[in-house]
């Protein structure tokens, strides 16, 4: 089929009310689920999957993709309003979104999050359509050594989100790496730090750690130091982003979008590291870098561009290679298989109409995301009017429900509360939680790829320096470490001058 024939075939599949309604409903469901603390885009997609079994393949997949995209944006709403990321991908949005909310500019932060999300989503979708073949072939060249060097480079961005103290940030990251080792060793099958408890053999549940680290400390802080309600928990202030503000943040949005596209096209990296890397790069290059972490609009734009830039790109390895780009696309693969479709290179030959139907649907989803996001901001902003004594108990109930619903395991709820106390201690001692989270995410990937590389080479470290890809990431890592050290030295000198 020619390109035009393929486009027309795809349009014939999605150019109907059912397809557009499924996409619209999916984005709405995902946005609502992402905006509820304790829920997540992953959980929303997983809960929606059983309802798609009786649908036509293209309708079912568009519904799930709509939930995916809506959930990624929806997570920014509670992240900004109540410092509780609705999804792991929104963790970086907390860093500047919540301080803006405390300044009475929550509406502006939410508006920028929406504009950045829609821009990045559109760029990611276009990248999927235009460069799927090239990016997929590049990702195909990645083996364990390449993944190890990429993840090692990604870990260096922790210093970029460590706040004022690099030492505290490094301590937080090491704690995250340590807890990431809990569970069954996948290579030798030995137990690590399980203390004889079978519930710990699978490791610490990520949702439990995330919610415990970010949501529970806020509840504990409210109990520890209760404050009278002043009629409004978070003032929204000016709820519109001006064109000048969008233009000022546009470079960071585009940069974050392409970071998301690149990392999203590599299986297993995910949206959270992309958001932190985008945030770190924006902070490094921004003339307002000193304002990051204190309520900088560009920080919200960068983090939301980074996580939404992943959404379309994760479909590159899924469609081209049959390999899920992240946890959510792993669930979506199930929908493909239920309907008799096998993602991979042959799908571009046997089911090209579905491929182009998905491309068209993804472009339309960016439009739906903007309109539904605008309504969601106006609707969910009323969470700011709820008294703290009512809001945080409600958040606690939703967190317990969300964590328990993942595996129907009360042990995960216990992990959430333990991590809540850990997060509270970190909060009281100004130890940043972001390095802990990103290290906890990347730690297993770093270890698994390192050990696979060692098994491939007979324990020879030379394999970590094979080929131009590994050298490229080693070079980036070295340059990043040098830049971090220099920034630390400059900050120390500045403090001494002020003293």
Assigned token pair, 380: 């969910």
d(CA 361, CA 351): 16
d(CA 346, CA 308): 28
Q: What is the H or E stretch that residue 385 is in?
A: none
Per DSSP, 15 falls in state S
3-state secondary structure 482-498: HHHHHHHHHHHHHHHHH
Assigned token pair, 159: 């210093």
Assigned token pair, 180: 């990431």
- Mind listing the pLDDT tens digit of every residue in the chain (499 residues)? 566 777 787 788 888 888 899 999 999 988 887 777 656 677 777 777 777 878 888 898 999 999 988 888 888 887 888 777 767 777 788 888 888 888 777 778 888 888 888 898 888 888 887 776 565 556 567 788 888 887 788 777 665 555 556 677 778 888 888 888 888 887 777 888 888 888 888 888 877 887 788 778 878 887 887 665 444 444 455 567 778 888 888 888 898 888 888 887 766 566 777 888 888 888 888 787 777 877 788 888 888 888 888 888 878 777 776 666 666 777 787 778 778 887 776 777 777 788 888 888 888 888 898 889 888 877 766 654 556 677 677 778 877 876 787 677 888 889 889 998 998 998 888 887 777 877 887 788 788 889 889 988 888 888 999 888 889 889 988 887 787 777 777 767 776 776 6
Interacting residues of 247 by C-beta distance below 8 A, sequence separation 6+:
none
Assigned token pair, 131: 């460069």
Classify residue 408 as left (phi > 0), alpha (psi -120 to 50) or beta: left
Measured between alpha carbons, how far apart are the two ends of the chain, in Å?
72
Domain boundaries, the chain: 3-229+239-498
d(CA 167, CA 159): 9
Angle (CA) 22-23-28 rounded to 5° is 95
Q: What is the pLDDT of residue 232?
A: 43
* Short-list 300, 312, 332, 353, CA closest to 6: 353
Per DSSP, 194 falls in state -
Task: Answer whether 73's CB lies under 8 Å from 67's CB.
Answer: no
């Amino acid at each position: 089929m020619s390109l035009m024939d393929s486009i027309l075939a795809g349009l014939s599949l999605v150019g109907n009310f059912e397809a557009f309604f499924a996409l619209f409903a999916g984005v709405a469901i995902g946005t609502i689920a992402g905006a509820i603390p304790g829920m997540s885009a992953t959980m929303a997609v997983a809960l929606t999957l059983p309802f798609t079994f009786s649908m036509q393949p293209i309708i079912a997949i568009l519904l799930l993709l709509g939930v995916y995209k809506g959930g990624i944006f929806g997570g920014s709403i509670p992240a900004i309003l109540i410092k509780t990321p609705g999804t792991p991908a929104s963790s970086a949005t907390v860093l500047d979104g919540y301080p803006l909310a405390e300044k009475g500019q929550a509406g502006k932060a939410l508006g920028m999050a929406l504009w950045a999300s829609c821009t990045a989503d559109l760029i990611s979708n276009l990248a999927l359509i235009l460069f799927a073949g090239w990016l997929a072939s590049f990702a195909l060249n990645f083996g364990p050594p390449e993944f190890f060097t990429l993840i090692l480079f990604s870990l260096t961005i922790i210093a970029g989100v460590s706040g004022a103290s690099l030492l505290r940030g490094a301590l937080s990251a090491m704690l995250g790496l340590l807890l990431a080792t809990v569970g069954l060793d996948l290579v030798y099958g030995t137990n690590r730090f399980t203390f004889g408890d079978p519930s710990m053999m699978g490791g610490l549940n990520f949702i439990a750690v995330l919610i415990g680290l970010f949501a529970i400390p806020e509840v504990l802080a409210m109990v520890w130091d209760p404050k009278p309600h002043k009629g409004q928990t978070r003032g929204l202030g000016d709820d519109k982003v001006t064109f000048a503000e969008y233009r000022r943040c546009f470079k960071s949005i585009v940069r974050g979008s392409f970071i998301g596209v690149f990392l999203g096209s590599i299986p297993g990296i995910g949206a959270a590291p992309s958001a932190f890397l985008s945030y770190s790069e924006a902070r490094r290059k921004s003339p307002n870098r000193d304002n990051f972490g204190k309520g900088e609009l560009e920080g919200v734009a960068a983090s939301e561009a980074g996580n939404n830039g992943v959404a379309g790109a994760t479909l590159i390895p899924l469609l081209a290679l049959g390999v899920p780009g992240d946890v959510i696309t792993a669930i979506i693969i199930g929908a493909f298989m239920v309907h008799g479709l096998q993602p991979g290179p042959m799908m571009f030959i046997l089911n090209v109409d579905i491929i182009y139907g998905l491309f068209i649907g993804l472009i339309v989803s960016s439009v739906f995301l903007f309109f539904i996001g605008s309504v969601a901001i106006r609707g969910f902003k009323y969470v700011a009017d709820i008294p703290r004594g009512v809001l945080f108990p409600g958040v606690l109930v939703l967190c317990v429900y969300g964590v328990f619903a993942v595996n129907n395991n009360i042990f995960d709820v216990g992990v959430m509360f333990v991590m809540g106390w850990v997060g509270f201690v970190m909060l009281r001692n100004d130890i940043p939680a972001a390095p802990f989270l990103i290290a906890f995410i990347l730690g297993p990937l770093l270890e698994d790829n390192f050990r696979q590389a060692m098994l491939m080479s007979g324990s020879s470290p030379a394999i970590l320096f094979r080929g131009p890809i590994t050298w490229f990431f080693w070079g980036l890592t070295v340059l990043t470490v040098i830049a971090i050290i220099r920034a630390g030295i400059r900050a120390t000198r500045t403090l001494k001058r002020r003293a």
